[in-house]
Structure formats: structure tokens, C-alpha cells
Chain A
């Protein structure tokens, strides 16, 4: 800009000088004065007639051209400096913007890394801190069942729909190593709290659990309610406790190839404890279980799904309340009808032990689960103390028709149900046989009434399970149970269903689990 002005100034000065000189020359010619002076002043060629003037004009023109060249040279010298400064300035601005963008991106990444995470999917709702030290999860299980009994002498009130389980499950972690689980159940006729416990995870091999939870004995019983093959567990599970309260030490060893659990609990009678939130006797129960899956991490595919172990318990039953007998409230059929209860006034009194060898096997779509339970319990009617030895066993098999892998846990369909795409989910056929034998001494010792109870039952069941997706499942199954040892007469219609006659029941279930 400065050089341009300078150039204009030079040109204007030179041109101005020409006009000035021409004007002075014209004025001198007109007045006739100062002729010498006029001759000294150069003028435009058009106005001057002499050769000298022309030469002078030419000299001036050359002078102007020289000045213009100098100005141009100056312009050329100054122009690059300005451009360079401008370019450098722009370059800095671009670099600053680029760097600011990098910093903003880093800040965004850092912020995302420290922001709490919310996830919602097939595994439920989860809200966790960025470092996962704090996690809250919401799961749920809803099971709507129907039971239809056949050839039941028109006994009333047993056919129909029921909300078998309706459990919101609140679980999570605090301070990285402490887990918790709180599970109320709004299904059935009363609200219960099946699970309420905390677990400290020092290491996978060493975990301590306190609260109310499943007693670690029966294999089928320990399987999640959402994953069991049939609507109801088998007769074998009648002989193991359900929930119990206490302290449990547990862990997985050798990368999960073995697991153990050992605990001191209140003690619960056979398949009982769901509604119990307090204690009923002075002496604790010692429970334990070891389970091995030695090929779990091996390359031997055919053996990877083989597991076996044993669970058991030992306690001294000493119920200290009149209402708590320490005895089972009743052994039940698949249709949840009682076929054996002790007489009123009979109570547990002394040692009570259980042993349950167990195994399962899963290979491809095929699954097999079996267990045996043997128990001994000292029972008294006030006059005589008798050790009652009961036993039960079951074996169940499953086959996934659609080729998915069978599992002790949840089944994941290869293709979720979507008829628009021609996908129908996963289909599984299941079959089971189970037997429970009550010690015949219960009748001879006056502990139970053979005219109202059976001392044995055998049940077979078949079913078809449909997994629409990981969350929705539908079951259809039929169960047939026969009884031993009942000596009573066949009751009139509408009074007693079992064990006076066989039980035939058709189950359906629609389940939502997430």
C-alpha cells in the first residue's frame, strides 16, 4: 500500500512539474517578460517548438520512467515481506485451530472415559461409573403359567393360570469388590424375598457371601429359575433346602475348572426356606459343595461340557418354636400337590444330613443333567426318635432342534423370532424321569399317615420349549406321576387328588426374563 502511494506521488510530482512549467512558459510568451527565464523552463513538446525543449522533455520522460522502475522495484521488495507475514499469520491461526481441535477431541475422549455408562439390552438395564467400580443393574423375571390336570376327579381350584414368579432383581457392585442382590417375588399368593445377599470378591478363588440365598447343595436347584427345563423342578429337589440365611465362602479354582462353596447357615428343612427370613433353631447347618468341570478350558470339545460334583449338609435339628417343626412342609409333585407330610406333633430332633452326587453334560444341542440325593433325619413324635432315610434321583435330557448349544445357563437362539424374515427362534425338546422314596419307617413309626400319604413317587415328563429370543420363552410340557404306599380308599370326587390317584398335568408358561 505504501509503495503504491509513493509511486502515485512520484508520478503526480513529475506530471505536476510538467504542467507547471508549461503554464509558466505560456504565461511568459504571452507577456513577453523574462524570456531567459522562460527559456530555462522545459515545457510539453506540443507547446515547445525548440529541439532543446524536446530533449528536455525526453530527459524528463526518462526520469519518470526511471522513477517508476524504482517504485516498482520497491514494490517488489515490499510485497513478499507483507505476503510472508500474512501467510505466517494465517499459518499460525490454522495451527492453533488444529491444535485446539485436538485438545477438544482429547477432552471429549477424557470426559467420555469418566462419564457414567448406561446400557440397556437383552441383559437388562445397567448403570455404571466409568471405572465400573460402581454398578447398578436391573433385571427381572415374569412367568405366567397354566396348569391343567387330567383325570383328577373334578377336583376344584387346581386348573388355571397363575403368576408363578414376578421378580424385579436389583443387583450391582459398590467399590469394585462388593456385589449385592435384592430379589423380591410378587408371584404366588404372598410377597417373598427369595434372595437378599452381599458378596465380597477378594479374588475369583475367594469370595464371601452373606445374607439369604440358595443353599449350595442340589444341582437342579442351583440352576436359575429362568433356565430350568420344565416349569417345576423334579422330585429330587424336594430333598434339598431352598433358601437359607448365613455366611458362605465360595470361589472358582483353576480358571473355573473347579468351584467350591462352604458355609454356615441357619439350616432349612427340605425344599423350604423361601419365606424364612429369621432363624428357627439354635444349631447351625454346615453346607458345602464342590463341582468340577476339568475339561472346561481344554480343546476336547466332547468333554468340555462335562461337570460332576457333590453337595451336602450336616446339622443338628433342634427347632425352638412350637410352630417350627424342622420338617418339610410337604413333598410335592410336579403339579405342586403334596403327596407326603408328617403327622401333626412330629418334629425334627437330632442329626440331619444330606449328600447329593450330581453331574451334567452339554455337547452341542444335547444336554443331560442328573443327581441323586440321600438324606438322614432324626424325627420324633414325642415318644420315639427315628432316623428317617429318604432318597431321590432324577435325570433329564434336552435337545435343541434348531442347533443351538445346550447349556446349564441361558439359551441364545441363532435367530431371534421374526416371521417376516422366516426366523422362528430356538426350539428344544426335553424329557425327565424322577423318583422320590420316603423311608417306610415313617408309617410304621407313626410319623405319617399312610391313609393320606404316599411314601414314594415316580414322575416322567416331556416338554417342548420355544426360545423366541434371549428374553422371551414359552414352555409346553406334560407330567405324569404315580405313587407308592398309599393305603387309603379312593376318595370321593372333588376332595383329594393325590396320592389317591396318579397325577396328570399339562403345563404352559410364557416367560419374560432380562
Chain B
């Protein structure tokens, strides 16, 4: 009887391993839908050619902070491609699903592409919005998502704050007054960047949308270049959306190898081309040069230089009771 039991068990295990399909779940933030739709198809083709295996990659999108919380709560992502390092740090610290040094596991601090924050205004720029000073004027309606839930919104907040600091000789009180005026002009806070794009472009609310650069270009494509135009401010922030393998989940799913390859392929020429085509600034210099026309020159500050890194910025501005909670009154 014991022997029969072992034989049955072995047969079941072998059968289950052979029958397993390769599936990956990429939990990402709001504006990357189009990027990863194109990239997943390219990677599946690459993987099929390399190994002969079929891979199906599912995508999940939402506000970066909300997505991170979902993974912490049990959404079994094999990889996360979120808007900011803090959100992946939260997964590592709270759920211990990946090692604390995840940021150093891939080149460029695990950021295969970058982006920044720009303005999307209505065609003809009827309110004459050229720089950050213009959007804090009385009567200007600004659309931006909630920095409590959206990574893009946090980048936008910090870009505006950095501009105010630069303009006021790093006088924090003046910068705080500036950001307060800005958020007084915000009539509605969406939970994610895509929601804000819909609010501005589809629902016709507001005079200016603070958007990811790629999201602004996407809005032109989707809602019509004859309806909107992009304004690049004099200063913005270097947004670095990182990627990481959720190693515990990948191990449980037996997808560690392919999950790593999936992210590494983002650094390949093809991966970089796809990123650039979707208006993400590629790390690869040759590809960046090729697509230079897509990206307006802008002075970019980094979060490390201006705010001392994500942990400090999060605690100061976006944690419960932080500056944002103090200055924003819905």
C-alpha cells in the first residue's frame, strides 16, 4: 500500500509539472498599459524563440501605491513595475516578498527607463500656461491625481515643490505656500494617473493636467492632438519607475528564471525601443538619441538631490499627517 501511494504521488507531481503553463503576472502602475501590452508580446516572442515555451503575461494596473498594497495583501505578482521605489520598498518591508536590496539587482537602480512630469493644456493654451507659476494663479483649474495613492501624483507634487524651492532659494516656507496655492486650484483628485487623464481629456475638467510625459503623449494620440498640447515647464523631476521580481511569489510559482529574464529584457535594444516608442525616456543612449525628438529638453532634478530620497520624502510629504495632509483641504 505504501509503495502504491508513493507511485501515485510521483505520477501526480510529474504530471502536474509537465502540464503547467508558464504564466506571469506583472503588477504595474496606471499609465504603463500600452507600454507593457507591446512589451509583453515582444517578450513572449523572444522567449518562445529562445526556449520554445509559451508564456502568457497578465497585467494589472492602478495607482502605484494601491497596487503595492494589493501585492502586500496577497495579489500574487511575479514582477512589479511600479511608479516609484518607495512602493516596492513597502512590499519588501511589510510582506517580505523580495529582498531589501532589490534595487541593486538590475542596472540603473532597477530603472530601465525614466520619465518626468509635464503639463497638458487645451489647444491654443487659452490660459497661457507656460510654467509652474502659471498654474498657481487664481482661477486656474489643475487636474492631478491623489499623491496618497498615485505614484505619478507624488512625482508631480515633488516637481512643483522642487521648482518652488529653486525659485525661492530653498525657502521651505515659500515652497510650502506655493504648493498650497497649487492644490487650492485642484478641484478633484483621482486615485491614479489614468483617471486624471480621463478627468481632464474626456470629462473636460480643468485647464491643465499634470501628467507623466508618456501619459501626456498618449492623451494626444488617444484624445486628439488638435484638442490638446504639451507644455514642458522650465524645471521638472527625473521620475525613475523601478522594476523588481517578487521573488517569493516567483519561487512559489516556479517562475523565478523567466521573471528575471522578463525584466532584464527591458534593458535590451528591443525593450528600450519599445519604451521610447511609448514615450518613456530610455536608458540606452543610442536609443535615446534616436528618439530625442520625442522628448523636450528640460532641467531635471532628482529626488535624492532635492529631497534626500524616497523614504524621507514619503515621510515628510505623503505619510499620514504629512505636509500634503496639512495643506490639502478637499
Binding site for B on A (CB under 8 A): 92, 95-96, 98-100, 103, 106-107, 110, 114, 129, 131, 133, 176, 203, 205-206, 249, 251, 253, 260, 262-264, 286-288, 312-314
Is B52 an interface residue when CB atoms closer than 8 A count as contact? no
Residue numbers in A under 8 Å from B4 (CB-CB): 262, 288
- The verdict on B16 contacting chain A, using a C-beta distance below 8 Å, is yes
| Contacts A96-B205, A106-B195 supplied; 18 other A-B pairs, CB < 8 Å | A95-B204, A95-B205, A96-B188, A99-B203, A100-B188, A103-B190, A103-B191, A106-B191, A114-B73, A131-B73, A206-B12, A206-B13, A249-B8, A260-B8, A262-B8, A288-B1, A288-B5, A314-B1
Return 12 A-B CB contacts under 8 Å, by A number: A92-B141, A92-B205, A95-B204, A103-B190, A106-B195, A107-B191, A133-B74, A206-B9, A249-B8, A251-B12, A262-B8, A286-B5
The one of B5, B8, B66, B195 that contacts A103, using a Cβ cutoff of 8 Å: B195
- Which residue of B has the minimal Cβ distance to A315? B1
Which residues from chain B contact A100 at a C-beta distance below 8 Å?
188
Min C-beta distance of A146 to chain B, whole Å:
42
Give residues of chain B (188-204) contacting chain A, Cβ–Cβ below 8 Å: 188-191, 195, 199, 203-204
Q: Which residue of B12, B73, B188, B203 is within 8 Å of A205 (Cβ)?
A: B12
Are A312's CB and B1's CB within 8 A?
yes
**B117-135 interface with A by 8 A CB criterion:** none
Q: Do B73 and A103 have beta carbons less than 8 Å apart? A: no
User: Residues of B contacting A99 with CB < 8 Å?
Assistant: 188, 199, 203, 205
The minimal Cβ–Cβ distance linking A81 to chain B, given in whole angstroms, is 15
Supposing A98-B203, A100-B188, A103-B195 touch, asked if A286 and B2 sit within 8 A by C-beta, the answer is yes
Q: How large is the interface on B (under 10, 10 to 19, 20 to 34, 35 or more residues)?
A: 20 to 34
Give the total number of A-B pairs whose CB atoms are below 8 A apart.
64
Question: What's the least CB distance linking A345 to chain B, in Å?
Answer: 31
Nearest CB in chain B: distance from A206 CB, A: 5
Residues in A neighbouring B107, C-beta threshold 8 A? none
Residues of B within 8 A of A314 (CB): 1
Bound complex: CA of A251 vs CA of B190, how far in Å?
47
Contacts of A264 in B (CB 8 A): 2
For B5, give the chain A residue with the smallest CB separation.
A262
B2 proximity list for chain A (CB < 8 A)? 262, 264, 286
Alpha-carbon distance A314/B1, docked complex (angstroms):
8
Chain B nearest CB from A335 CB (Å) reads 35
Chain A residues with CB under 8 A of B203: 95, 98-99
Residues of B at the A interface (CB closer than 8 Å) are 1-2, 4-5, 8-9, 12-13, 15-16, 66, 73-75, 141, 187-191, 195, 199, 203-205
List the B residue with the shortest CB-CB distance to A287.
Answer: B1
Instruction: Please state if B16 and A203 are interface contacts (CB–CB under 8 Å).
Output: yes
CB distance from B198 to the nearest CB of A (A): 8
- Whether A103 lies near B188 (C-beta < 8 A) is yes
Measured between beta carbons, the chain B residues less than 8 angstroms from A129 are 74
Chain A residue nearest to B2 in the complex (CB)? A286
Whole-angstrom distance between the alpha carbons of A41 and B184 in the complex?
61
A96 in contact with B1 (CB, 8 Å)? no
CA distance A206 to B10 in the complex (A): 10
Which residue of chain B is the closest to A253 with respect to CB atoms? Answer: B12
Report Cα–Cα, A206/B8, bound state, in Å. 10
Q: Are B16 and A96 in contact (CB under 8 A)?
A: no
Bound together, the chains give a CA A107 to CA B189 distance in angstroms of: 12
State in angstroms the CA–CA spacing of A313 and B2 once bound together: 10
Please report the C-alpha to C-alpha distance between residue A129 and residue B72 in the assembled complex, in whole angstroms. 14
Given A95-B204, A95-B205, residue A262 in contact with residue B188 (CB < 8 A): no
Q: B75 to chain A: which residues have CB within 8 Å?
A: 131
Do the beta carbons of A249 and B9 come within 8 Å of each other?
yes
Cβ of B202 to closest chain A Cβ, rounded Å:
10
A262:B191 contact, CB within 8 angstroms: no
Given the complex, which residues of A lie within 8 Å of B205, measured CB to CB? 92, 95-96, 99
Q: Which residue of A lies closest to B73 (CB)?
A: A131
> Which A residues lie within 8 Å of B187 (CB)?
92, 96
B residues in contact with A107, CB < 8 Å: 191
Residues of A within 8 A of B199 (CB): 99
- In Å, the complex CA distance between A275 and B75 comes to 42
Cα distance A288–B4 in the bound complex, in angstroms: 9
Q: Whole-angstrom distance between the alpha carbons of A75 and B13 in the complex?
A: 87
In the bound complex, how far is the Cα of B71 from the Cα of A113, in angstroms?
14
